[in-house]
Amino acid sequence: MRLRGAVVGAALLAGCPSNLPEPLPEPDAWGTLTGPGGPATTFDAADLWTECAFLDGGEDDNDHHNFVTMFDGYLLMPWIPEWSAGGLTFFDFADPCDPIKVGEVFHSDLRESHTTGFARIDGRTYAAFDYHGAYDPDEDAIVGGAHFWDITDPTAPAFVSEINLPGYVYPDAYARVSLATFWQGPYVFVSGADNGFWVIDASNPAEPTLLSQYTPDPPLRVGAVHVIGDVAMVSAAEGSRTLLLDVSDPAEPQPIPGGEFHVTDDDGVPKEYYFANTGGRYALFARKENGGGFAAYDLTDPTAPTRVGGYNTPDGNGGYVFRLHDTMFVGDSNFASVFDFSDPSSPLEIGRADLEGDLDTATPIGNVVVLSVDDEAVPDEASSVVPWTEEPDRRAPTAELHFPADGATFVPLGSRVGVSFDEMVEFRTVFEGSFRVTDSAGFPVEGMFTGQENVVSFAPTDGWFADTTYAVEIAAGGIQDFSGNAVETPVTFRFSTGRELAE
C-alpha cells in the first residue's frame, strides 16, 4: 500500500496523470430495473386495510407462505412449507392489486424461507434459501442445509447447488434444522436452531463449502443471524436471549463484551419473542409471550444495546417484524398490526389487517403490505395484498447504522463493511458507484456486494491492507428503495486497519 502511494507521488511529480485513480461511476449508473418496481398506485381511504388481491404460486403451492421481497423491479414470493416441496414466483407488482406473474419455478427440496439474501458474483445474481432434502443412505439421515439459486433472470430462476450441513435433523421443525439464511460477502450464515449456526463459504455458489459452526455457550436455539459489518446479531427462535458477536473472522466468531441481553417489556421483565430482525439502527423483536407486538433495541453501541421502546398487543402472538421508515409491521398470528414508530419511546398502533390462517408475516412493500400465512390458509389465499396508506412511498431510504464505525482503528484485515437502512432497499441499485469504497490515495477497492432486506454489505476481494485508511460513501442519488426513491442524504465514514487514521 505504501508502495502504491509512492508510485502515485512520483507520477504527480512527473506530470503523469494516467496513474491517478479512475473516477468511480455516477451513483445512478447501475442501469435500469428489469421489472417496473414497487407499487405506483394511489388508493382512496376506503381502500385501506382490506385485501385487493391474492398471491398464489404454481399448481403445487401448498398454501404455506412467508416472507416476500423485491428484486430487480419484481416481487419475489417463495411458497414453501417447512417440510419442503415449494417454489419461487416473481410478479410484476407496479399495480399491486393486479399482480402479473412473470416467472416461476418448483423444487422438491426448497424449505420454508424466513429471509432472502442476494449476492452479485461475476456479473450474475444469486439468492440463498433453506433446504430440506430426502433420506440419504450414505448419511443414514434426512439431509438439509442451504440452497443456492441463480436469479439473474427473474423470468427463469435456476437452481445452482445445495449443501448438506452437519447435525441437521428432521422432523422437528425447530430443533436441528435450518431456519434462516443471511448472505454477507462470500459468507452465508445459516441459523441452525440447537445446532447454533453454520457459516458457509459461498464465494463460488456452485460449490459452497462449510467454513465453521458456532454453538453458543450456554446453548441458544438460534432462529436468525443478522450481520452488519463485523457485528452479528444472533437471535433466538422463541426465547428472550440475544447475542452480539464479532464475526470479523467468520471461522471463529467471538462474543462482544456487553453484547448479550434479554428482550424485556416496559418494566424490564424478560419476554419471549418469536423471531427478530434489524432495521436501521435498531434490533427488532416480534413478541409472543403474554401478547404480541414488538420491542426495539438500539445497536449503535454493540457493547451496550439499549431498549428504546415497544408495544404490546394483548390479543396478539408475534411472528415476524419489519420496519419501513417510521412504521413497524408485525404479523401477530391472529391479525397483522401496523405501528407508528416516529417516537420510538411511545409507538402507537395505527391499523390492523386480517387474513384467515396463521398470520405470521406482514411485509411492507411501499404503500401496501403483503400478508402471508404459513398454516390453515384458505386454498389459493395464503398471501394477500392490503393497502395501508393512500399515497405511494416517496420517502428516500436513510442509512442509519454502519460498521466499521466512523473513526474506527485496528479494523481486522478480514472485515466486511455493512450499512443498515431504515427500510428495505433494491439490491440491483447497490454497486461501486452507489456504495463507494476507496483507500487513502483515492483508489477504488474492488469487492463483492451483497444485500438482504435493510442491510447492504461490501467485502474487499483481496482483504484490506495493513495500516491503511479507507473511506466509504453511500452516495446521494444511488441506492434506491422498492419504490424507486434514491438516497438523498449521503453518508461518509472512514476507518483504519492501523493505529490511526491518515490525514
Cα–Cα distance measured from residue 24 to residue 175, given in angstroms and rounded to the nearest whole number? 47
The total of other beta-carbon atoms located within 10 Å of residue 454's CB is 28
The amino acid present at 387, given as its one-letter code, is P
Question: What are the two backbone dihedrals, phi and then psi, of residue 286, each rounded to the nearest 5 degrees?
Answer: -90, 110
Cis check: omega of the bond before 23, within 30 degrees of 0: no
In the block, residue with C-alpha cell 508502495: 3
- pLDDT for 139 equals 76
- pLDDT for 443 equals 95
The torsion defined by the Cα of 25, 27, 32 and 36, in degrees rounded to 10, comes to: 170
Q: What are the beta bridge partners of residue 214? A: 197
Q: How many helices (H) and strands (E) are present in the chain, helices listed first? A: 1, 36
Q: CATH number of the domain at 45-387, out of 3.40.50.10310, 3.10.350.10, 2.60.120.860, 2.130.10.10? A: 2.130.10.10
Burial per residue of 459-489, b for 16 or more beta-carbon CB atoms within 10 angstroms, e otherwise? bbeeebbeebbbbbbbbbbbbbbbbbbbbee
The DSSP secondary-structure symbol of 193 reads B
Cα–Cα distance measured from residue 489 to residue 475, given in angstroms and rounded to the nearest whole number? 8
* CA 321 from centroid of its chain's CA atoms: 12
Cα–Cα distance measured from residue 347 to residue 331, given in angstroms and rounded to the nearest whole number? 16
Residues in the chain: 503
Question: 168: which residues sit within 8 A by CB, 6+ positions away?
Answer: 141, 142, 143, 144, 145, 176, 177, 178, 192, 195
Instruction: Provide the residue ranges of all domains of the chain, joining segments of one domain with +.
Output: 45-387
Q: What cell numbers appear for 171 in the block?
A: 422432523
Of the candidates 295, 299, 322, the one whose C-alpha atom is nearest the C-alpha of residue 230 is 299
**Strand ranges across the sheet with 491-496:** 435-439, 469-474, 491-496
Question: What are the two backbone dihedrals, phi and then psi, of residue 377, each rounded to the nearest 5 degrees?
Answer: -80, 155
Burial of 18 (0-12, 13-18, 19+ CB in 10 A): exposed
3-state DSSP assignment of residue 427? helix
The dihedral of CA 132, 425, 151, 104: what is its sign? positive
- pLDDT for 18 equals 55
The total of other beta-carbon atoms located within 10 Å of residue 348's CB is 11
pLDDT digits (tens, 9 = 90+) for 378-428: 999 999 999 999 999 999 999 999 999 999 999 999 999 999 999 999 999
Burial of 269 (0-12, 13-18, 19+ CB in 10 A): exposed
Of the candidates 369, 415, 475, 397, the one whose C-alpha atom is nearest the C-alpha of residue 249 is 415
DSSP H or E run through 11: helix 2-13
**For the chain, which ranges sit under pLDDT 50?**
1-17
333-338: list long-range contacts, CB under 8 Å, 24+ apart: 333/292, 333/358, 333/359, 333/360, 334/359, 335/359, 336/362, 336/369, 336/371, 336/386, 337/292, 337/293, 337/311, 337/313, 337/362, 338/362, 338/369, 338/388
Question: What are the two backbone dihedrals, phi and then psi, of residue 322, each rounded to the nearest 5 degrees?
Answer: -140, 150
Question: 205: which residues sit within 8 A by CB, 6+ positions away?
Answer: 119, 121, 126, 148, 150, 160, 161
